[in-house]
Structure 1
Amino acid sequence: MLHLLRAAALALLAACLAPVAAAQAAYPQKRVTLVTHSSPGGGSDVFVRELARHLGPVLGVNFAVENVTGGSGAKAMAMVARGKPDGSVFYVTTPTYIQTTLLSKPDVGYTALEPVAIVFEDPEVVFTRAQAPFQSLAEVIEHARRNPGKARWGAANPTSLERIALERMARKMNVKVPVVPHEGGGDLMINVLNGTLDIGVGEVEELKGQLQAGKLRILGVLSDKRMPLLPQVPTAREQGVDVVVRKFRGLAAPKGVAPQAVQALEAGLRKVLATPDYRKSYTESNLVPLLLGHEEALRFTNEAAAEIGQTFRELGITK
């Protein structure tokens, strides 16, 4: 019993001191570059610009977002890996940077970076243009089955989690459909809107403008449960398609990143996630807070890499 009381007392003391420590931890840089592989308007681009808008005043930092497209994230990873580990540059992480490494084996992969935080889980949805004849995933699959060679599905880039999800969906439903890759979610959405593609996979945040304008329709959610803000949209599983995707959004730094920067960043993220304005913003974007600090982020990333590697082997993509 004594050790339980001592543990409780220490926990209470830590909770009382945490706000003071966070307040004293000044961020070591005044200007920070956030590098994303996403094209402007893509999911990662939208996420990081909104995060920077709210996090900047909390940390007293001027954030600059830089879009480094090409190589499915390889160019962006290489740029950040060459940066100074002083907290002045971060890479905006998604499962894509793991997939690019496992598939393309670039000179600089995800292991050359140091995960410092996982901020959100970002549910993926399957969408089509509003004028399309499809009202469900079953109708999309039936169209592909009855029209071999004519159906076209789209994903953000060649090694993206979205593309793998569509490849899995095609395999599970026993249909042959080309999955067309793009450099980012913005390019993908254009090709769904103009009818070049039957469906695409993306996040609600990057689709929000076109959804509000009535130009896109969401057909299914690739999560294990429905989204709170879209309770009328069934999951893929509910529609007989056993595909679940877990997409995360976080930050990684050059190896050996300064502990002061890591600690101050984590404190700032915890604070900004609790602010009413940012909570309203990410809730409306259907982002699910999943704040993991430095050590947890590293462990999470390694587990995600093992899971993605297993999926690739099951699909016959890698040996």
Structure 2
Amino acid sequence: MKRHQFLKAAVAVAGALLLSQTAAFAQSWPNKPVRLIVPFPAGGSTDIVARQLAQHLSTALGQQFIVDNRAGAAGNIGTDAVAKAAPDGYTIGLSTSGPLANNKSLYKNMPFDAQKDLSPIALVGEIPMVFVTNPSVKAQNLKEFVALAKANPNDYSVGHPGNGTIGHLTLESFKTSTGTSPQGIPYKGDTPAMTDLLGGSIQAISAPVSTFIPNIQGGKLRGLAVTSKKRFPGLPNVPTALEQGVDLEATVWFAIVGPAGMAKPVIEKLNQEVNRYTNSAEGKAKLAQFGMVEANGGPDLLGKLMNAEAAKWKKVVEAARISLD
């Protein structure tokens, strides 16, 4: 056998051996508890969803999945802990679109690169943004609000949950796509913004829909538009921005990720079980409690979403000159 033929055969044997070892590892995984890092405080929606998923995965895969809260820096600290963990399948995380896409442009000193340092595993769900007003505002929909804001820009202010949040980025994207310039008012979260909206101190809010569902359903606030591709099931009478001719799509999405270099069979095994949960009647119902619509698909779909969203919001951040450090 010639040298190049020998080398080719040796590489093929080594490759086959590696594949068989990887497959054997995936079949035995997990054989000890798995840590599920949540980069936000205990008790919040991300934490509760993580605990629901952990319970499902523990039952389905026969090992305990333990939730580990690592809050701070808008999700960067906990997601960084996932990125820097050993890629052996025993540390994964439930993170959101902030650390996985948006924060890359908002923070100058990111401790990790989501697109390089993480393994996409599975989408879990998404929460659309909503533009909501006090009923005293003479706009029945987003198109009418745009007309009012163009005619009298100084009379309209739009609250959002804080600088750099998805509500803030959505508002900046709205300004660009509609050519309007309402004043943006940052708050420390959705609830204080909603209090001022109910009191009439501001005219509208751009924020995740979850907090506002009861008041919109009860007629105390008016939903002008949601910013998902399709109408939000919890508010079927509120049209999307796209339906109204406003080029605006924005959601906060939740996903399972792991460190870069995880074995593909382990990723696929996790993906299959997460999808099984989010497609189940129980999973859909529990996610809906947080204003979340289930999402699913393969790891490649999540990877493409992370890339596309990072590029999309980078343009918005740079145009609005937003920086958080």
**Could you tell me the TM-score, scaled by structure 2's length?**
0.70
CA distance 1:260–1:138, change in 2 (3 Å) = closer
Deviation at 1:244, TM superposition (A): 2.2
| Alignment partner, residue 78 of structure 1 | 80
CA distance 1:296–1:37, change in 2 (3 Å) = same
Unaligned runs of 5+ in 2: 1-23
> Is 2:121–2:268's contact at 8 Å kept on the other side of the alignment?
no
| Alignment partner, residue 277 of structure 1 | 282
1:92 aligns with 2:104: no
What is the alpha-carbon distance in structure 2 between the residues aligned to residue 115 and residue 243 of structure 1?
A: 25
What is the alpha-carbon distance in structure 2 between the residues aligned to residue 310 and residue 280 of structure 1?
A: 35
What is the alpha-carbon distance in structure 2 between the residues aligned to residue 217 and residue 123 of structure 1?
A: 16
SS in structure 2 at match of 1:176: coil
What is the alpha-carbon distance in structure 2 between the residues aligned to residue 63 and residue 154 of structure 1?
A: 37
What is the alpha-carbon distance in structure 1 between the residues aligned to residue 136 and residue 307 of structure 2?
A: 42
CA distance 1:253–1:223, change in 2 (3 Å) = same
Deviation at 1:52, TM superposition (A): 4.1
Q: Looking at CA atoms only, which structure, 1 or 2, has the larger radius of gyration?
A: 2
- 1:23-54 C-alpha deviation (Å, 9 max, x unpaired): 96653442523323479546x45644554454
Residue identity matched to 2:59? P
CA distance 1:255–1:237, change in 2 (3 Å) = closer
**How many residue pairs get matched?**
293
| Alignment partner, residue 204 of structure 2 | 199
Residue identity matched to 1:291? G
1:290 aligns with 2:319: no
SS in structure 2 at match of 1:123: strand
CA distance 1:24–1:75, change in 2 (3 Å) = closer
Selected match of 1:306 from 301, 308, 311: 311
Selected match of 1:266 from 259, 264, 271: 271
1:161 aligns with 2:166: yes
| Alignment partner, residue 13 of structure 2 | none
**Could you tell me the TM-score, scaled by structure 1's length?**
0.71
CA distance 1:77–1:96, change in 2 (3 Å) = closer
Selected match of 2:128 from 116, 123, 142: 123
Alignment RMSD (CA, Å): 3.9
Residue identity matched to 1:27? P
CA distance 1:191–1:312, change in 2 (3 Å) = same
SS in structure 2 at match of 1:309: helix
Unaligned runs of 5+ in 1: 1-20
- 1:256-308 C-alpha deviation (Å, 9 max, x unpaired): 34556534422321322343211333467451423222x44334322332333
Deviation at 1:81, TM superposition (A): 3.2
| Alignment partner, residue 255 of structure 1 | 260
What is the alpha-carbon distance in structure 1 between the residues aligned to residue 70 and residue 204 of structure 2?
A: 25
What is the alpha-carbon distance in structure 1 between the residues aligned to residue 195 and residue 68 of structure 2?
A: 23
SS in structure 1 at match of 2:295: strand
What is the alpha-carbon distance in structure 2 between the residues aligned to residue 268 and residue 160 of structure 1?
A: 30
